[in-house]
Structure 1
Amino acid sequence: MLILLPPSEGKTAAAKGHPFDLHELQFPELNPAREEVLAALAHISHSPDALAQLGVGASLAAEVERNTRLHNEPSAPAHTVYSGVLYDALGYRSMTATQKRKADAAVVVISALWGAIGFADSIPAYRLSMAVGLPETGKLASYWRKRLPTALDTHAEGHLLVDCRSSTYAAAWTPEPARTVVVNVFQERNGKRTVVSHFAKHTRGELARHLLTRRGKAPETPAALLKAAQEVWQAELVAGTARKAHALNIVLGE
């Protein structure tokens, strides 16, 4: 089982630590592309209109300025740097040592800056969204869509993929539909279902935690994933097609 996560918009910067080393990141075949995006990000972050180009407000000016010196910034494991609703719900820090090892092996984060990284990879805090386009690379989702299959198709072979990404990050890589389950979260009120983004992030984080901390064998099929989810939630499985992944729909009550 592999769990695909998006990064968090907000990041917790490491207070101390060595700068990142590209050669120590998972998926080293992505390093030439990573170097290109790092350089493009530093260049745009130096420009007078950097905030507008990166789609952020003035309150994030310090984070954009940090983009210009990422090679010298302290780094920390991705599970520490990424923060926010999903990652709080996943709760890596409160896991046992065995559960943490499972998370480090199973979680892959799809990133606008790094392409894809492992959960224990050491990175600095940065500010860049997959929705952004950089002059040197164009739209990052399109940029990575051409490059991620080389690294991820082989890595994913034989695994069930639990896809907890948002649509922005899902656009960067489309894994084999037959072994992929996209996680959707709905809230049901008076028989009507609605999508609620905040609860979706939280529930996806809870699902990831449940899969990593529950006893027993990790699910290897969409049906086994459904059974594991039903240990906690009301859930249903929508079968995929040759071109469309399966969908695990988690339904929250009022």
Structure 2
Amino acid sequence: MLVLLPPSETKAAGGDGAPLDLDALSLPELNPVRRKLADALVELSADVPASLTALGLSPRQSGEVERNAALWTSPTMPALHRYTGVLYDALDAANFTAAQADRAAGRLAVASALFGVVRARDPIPAYRLSGGSTLPGLGTLRSVWRPVLEPALNTDELVVDLRSGAYAALARIPDAVTVRVVTEDASGARKTVSHHNKAYKGRLAAALATSRREPSTVDDVRSVAEDADMRMEQAGETELVLVTDH
């Protein structure tokens, strides 16, 4: 099973790993595009105003441009610890046992505008690039990534796709299991969750990543979620609905 997570705009600073080495990352067939995008970001960072515009940042976020300037020289850390925010707080990978961390390393991957997809233990630097960005001379990231990323993600194993829209657009995975989070009030009325969506998906990802069982079907995913006290319903052949009460 592969659980594909969305990235986060925020990244943890620092790290104690060697500088970026594309050959140390999973899916080496993605390396030509990774190198092209990394070089483009470094080149763009020489023009701070242009970088801010291309990346959709404010002048107060110019430190993000400095991160991009140092892509090839700054320290790295495992991807699962580089990404931060609500989903990753709920995932709580720092508190996995050694056995759970090993299972998670084999099951979790993170969608990335810069790297396409990285596995949990892939060493990456801090950077700033969003799925909806357009880099000068390269066009949209969807046009850059789809031709190489879709074949790379064409796998016989079960894929649970928790990506957000901009990252799902970078590569379509037709048979992937998707999860929609809804809230149900006392009258039974439901609406799609926005504020807590990432937290629930982080909890689900943690349950799937650390389960002693190896989920291989939609029913298995639902069962693991229910064992973790999450209410899950099947809405279609490959769509699940996670129902919350707040």
- What's the TM-score bracket when you normalise by the shorter of the two chains? over 0.9
Kindly tell me the number of residue pairs found equivalent between the two proteins: 243
Distance in 2, matches of 1:197 and 1:9, equals 17
Does the 8 Å CA contact 2:132/2:140 hold for their aligned counterparts?
A: yes
Matches within 5 A, 1:21-100: 21-47=21-47, 48-100=49-101
Aligned-residue offset at 1:198:
2.9
Aligned equivalent of 2:190, options 184, 190, 193 = 193
8 Å CA contact retained: 2:108, 2:209 = no
Conservation of the 8 A alpha-carbon contact between 1:186 and 1:196: yes
- Given that 1:92 and 1:100 are in contact with CA atoms closer than 8 Å, whether structure 2 keeps it comes out as yes
Who is 1:181 aligned against? Answer: 177
TM superposition score normalised by structure 2? 0.94
**Take 1:69 and 1:224, find their aligned partners in 2: how far apart are those partners?**
43
Cα distance, 1:15 vs. partner? 4.2
Structure 1 residue 149, shift from structure 2 partner: 2.3
Task: Give unmatched runs, 5+ long, in structure 2.
Answer: none
Q: 2:239 aligns with which of 218, 223, 247?
A: 247
- SS of equivalent to 1:35: helix
> Identity of paired residues, percent?
42
Kindly indicate whether the alpha-carbon contact (under 8 Å) linking 1:46 and 1:65 is maintained by their aligned counterparts in 2.
no
Tell me, in whole angstroms, the C-alpha distance in 1 between the residues paired with 2:164 and 2:25: 23
Task: Give me the whole-angstrom Cα distance separating, in 2, the residues matched to 1:43 and 1:214.
Answer: 43
- The letter for the 2-side match of 1:27 is L
- C-alpha distance in structure 1 between counterparts of 2:4 and 2:188, whole Å: 30
Rounded to whole Å, the distance in 2 between the matches of 1:209 and 1:164 is 12
Match of 1:243 in 2: none
3-state SS in 1 of match to 2:142 = helix
* Rounded Cα–Cα distance in structure 2 between residues aligned with 1:81 and 1:160: 25
User: Residue in 1 aligned with 2:108?
Assistant: 107
* SS in structure 2 of the partner of residue 162 of structure 1: strand
Counterpart position of 2:159: 161
Q: Deviations over 1:13-43 (max 9, x none)?
A: 2243310111110011111111111111122
Shift in Å at residue 137 of structure 1? 1.9
Secondary structure of the 1:109 match is: strand
Structure 1 unaligned residues grouped into runs of 5+: 241-245
Give the TM-score taking structure 1 as reference length. Answer: 0.91
CA contact (8 A) 2:6 2:167 kept: yes
- Partner Cα distance (2:77, 2:15) in 1: 9
Q: CA offsets, 1:198-231, max 9 Å, x none?
A: 311000100011112234x222111221222222
Distance in 1 (alpha carbons) for counterparts of 2:113 and 2:89: 21
Deviation at 1:174, TM superposition (A): 1.5
User: 1:52-97 CA distances to partner (integer Å, 9 max, x unpaired)?
Assistant: 2101122321111220121000111001111111111111110011
Query: Which residue of the other structure, out of 182, 195, 199, is the alignment partner of 1:202?
Result: 199
**Are the counterparts in 2 of residues 89 and 205 from structure 1 also a CA contact under 8 Å?**
yes
Partners of 1:234 and 1:251 within 8 A in 2: yes
Shift of 1:196: 2.5
**Aligned partner letter, 2:78:** P
CA distance in 2, matches of 1:5, 1:141: 17
Equivalent-residue separation in structure 2 for 1:15 and 1:219 (angstroms): 32
